[in-house]
């Protein structure tokens, strides 16, 4: 039995209309536009409206990915939603998407690996197709992080934004598609980036709400050190697994958390700036949505052509990390 090659057939993304500029944050917390840009590279971010939830963003991104892949929702065998901001604890956001799309034949579940979630989802979905379990899979990274951010905390409120990106996976020509994967985790660093409230350890109570336990907590210095190290290591590791060299990389699509972290990874791979996708300045850190949104914008912007080798790499709370190499199989198309 020949094991099929699996790749990305179509991409899609959706960003809420509302923009929050750095100058808007100056009115809320003790910060300045110069402080935020110099330390993160972020200039603005998108924020969901009061009546929008993560599934709304995910649905819109999914419609675009399915259209560009040229398949219908009824053909999907699997839907994975990577998110740390689901609509509710259960049913899963993926189940809500399954129903809304009309993907009656698809199994569906959510995956929580923070900012690495999309890469975890790609790995799971790809292997499911390679083994013959499913023909097509939809992998979504979607977040409404503005709903779990303490807007009075300068260390976290300036970083995050909302959005969703989606891809459809399926079989591609031999020699194309995913060439290597790597996933990892270090639970010992779990308290560097976490949300303490809302689970069985700290259920919602009047006290937990008063103590702001339902907002993101972060040790910025530790996360930064971890991120710089792991982004470099994983990028080099997936290239080695794929049998490729640094000069074979046509495009790096990194998690969009901090411009200094992205630059460190770029320099380690000896890539010029035009071979790295950066949209952090427009959207901030969208956690699991950042890589698929960046990939979709690169594809629609004709930065990717058939035969190009792409490196996708990210890190997140947990601590988690992941990466993959793709040899792109689709022809350039206009947006």
Question: Which residues have C-beta within 8 Å of that of residue 158, sequence separation ≥ 6?
Answer: 22, 25, 29, 31, 36, 40, 42, 284
Residue 333 pLDDT level (bands cut at 50, 70, 90): low
* DSSP string covering 30-52: S--HHHHHHHH---EEEE--TT-
The verdict on 226 and 142 lying in the same domain is no
Range of the domain at 298: 178-327
Supply the mean pLDDT for the chain.
95
Single out the residue in 142, 174, 206 at which a domain terminates. Answer: 174
φ and ψ of 274, to 5 deg? -75, 0
**Helix (H), strand (E) at residue 293:** helix 290-300
Question: What is the arithmetic mean of pLDDT over 104-114?
Answer: 97
User: Could you tell me if residue 333 is inside a domain?
Assistant: no
The verdict on 220 and 156 lying in the same domain is no
Shortest CA distance to 25 belongs to which of 196, 114, 149, 211?
Answer: 149
Question: What is the arithmetic mean of pLDDT over 304-324?
Answer: 96
User: Could you tell me if residue 51 is inside a domain?
Assistant: yes
The verdict on 162 and 58 lying in the same domain is yes
Number of domains, the chain: 2
The verdict on 124 and 222 lying in the same domain is no
pLDDT at 225 over 70: yes
Looking at residue 50, what is its pLDDT? 95
Whether 301 and 179 have beta carbons less than 8 Å apart is answered as no
The domain that holds 51 is classified in CATH as 3.40.47.10
The verdict on 306 and 231 lying in the same domain is yes
The verdict on 13 and 118 lying in the same domain is yes
pLDDT at 1 over 70: no
The verdict on 127 and 187 lying in the same domain is no
The verdict on 66 and 104 lying in the same domain is yes
pLDDT at 332 over 70: no
CA atoms within 13 A on the CB side of 182: 21
Looking at residue 144, what is its pLDDT? 98
Residue 80 pLDDT level (bands cut at 50, 70, 90): very high
Shortest CA distance to 106 belongs to which of 152, 131, 72?
Answer: 72
User: Could you tell me if residue 334 is inside a domain?
Assistant: no
Three-state secondary-structure class, residue 142: strand
Both tokens of 68, joined, read 């560009």
pTM for this predicted structure: 0.96
User: Could you tell me if residue 140 is inside a domain?
Assistant: yes
φ and ψ of 85, to 5 deg? -130, 60
Single out the residue in 130, 148, 174 at which a domain terminates. Answer: 174
Cα–chain center distance at 253: 10
The verdict on 67 and 83 lying in the same domain is yes
The verdict on 66 and 147 lying in the same domain is yes
pLDDT at 335 over 70: no
User: Could you tell me if residue 46 is inside a domain?
Assistant: yes
317/319 Cα distance (integer angstroms): 4
240-276 pLDDT per residue, tens: 999 999 999 999 999 999 999 999 889 888 899 999 9
The verdict on 216 and 303 lying in the same domain is yes
Question: What is the arithmetic mean of pLDDT over 286-300?
Answer: 98
* Residues taking part in catalysis: 115, 255, 285
User: Could you tell me if residue 132 is inside a domain?
Assistant: yes
Three-state secondary-structure class, residue 235: helix
User: Could you tell me if residue 167 is inside a domain?
Assistant: yes
112-153 pLDDT per residue, tens: 999 999 999 999 999 999 999 999 999 999 999 999 999 999
Write out the E strands in the chain.
5-14, 18-21, 44-47, 78-82, 107-111, 137-143, 163-172, 177-185, 193-194, 217-218, 249-254, 309-316, 320-327
Single out the residue in 174, 207, 224 at which a domain terminates. Answer: 174
User: Could you tell me if residue 335 is inside a domain?
Assistant: no
Question: What is the arithmetic mean of pLDDT over 172-187?
Answer: 97
Question: What is the arithmetic mean of pLDDT over 52-63?
Answer: 98
Q: What percent of the chain has pLDDT over 70?
A: 99
The verdict on 123 and 198 lying in the same domain is no
266-276 pLDDT per residue, tens: 988 889 999 99
């Amino acid at each position: 039995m020949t094991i099929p090659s699996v790749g990305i057939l179509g991409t899609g993304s959706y960003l809420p209309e509302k923009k929050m500029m750095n100058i808007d944050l100056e009115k809320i917390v003790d910060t300045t536009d110069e402080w935020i840009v110099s330390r993160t590279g972020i200039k603005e971010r998108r924020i969901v409206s009061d009546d929008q939830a993560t599934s709304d963003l995910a649905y819109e991104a999914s419609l675009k990915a399915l259209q560009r892949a040229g398949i219908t929702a009824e053909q999907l065998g699997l839907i994975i939603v990577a998110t740390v901001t689901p609509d509710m604890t259960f049913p899963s956001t993926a189940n809500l998407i399954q129903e809304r799309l009309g993907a009656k034949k698809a199994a569906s579940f959510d995956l929580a690996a923070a900012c690495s979630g999309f890469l975890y989802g790609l790995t799971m979905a790809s292997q499911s197709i390679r083994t013959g379990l499913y023909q097509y899979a939809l992998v979504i990274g979607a977040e409404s992080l503005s709903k779990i951010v303490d807007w009075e905390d300068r260390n976290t409120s300036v970083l995050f934004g909302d959005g969703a990106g989606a891809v459809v996976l399926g079989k591609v020509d031999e020699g194309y598609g995913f060439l290597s994967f790597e996933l990892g985790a270090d639970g010992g660093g779990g308290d560097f980036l976490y949300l303490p409230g809302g689970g069985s350890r700290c259920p919602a109570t009047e006290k937990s709400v008063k103590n702001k336990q339902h907002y993101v907590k972060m040790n910025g210095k530790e996360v930064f050190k971890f991120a710089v190290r792991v982004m470099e290591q994983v990028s080099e590791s997936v290239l080695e697994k794929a049998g490729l060299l640094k000069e074979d990389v046509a495009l790096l699509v990194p998690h969009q958390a901090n411009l200094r972290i992205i630059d460190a990874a770029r320099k380690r791979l000896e890539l010029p700036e035009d071979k790295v996708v950066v949209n952090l300045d427009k959207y901030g850190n969208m956690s699991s949505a950042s890589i698929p949104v960046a990939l979709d914008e690169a594809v629609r912007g004709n930065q990717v052509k058939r035969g190009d080798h792409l490196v996708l790499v990210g890190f997140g709370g947990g601590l988690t990390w992941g990466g993959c190499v793709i040899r792109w199989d689709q022809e350039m198309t206009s947006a």
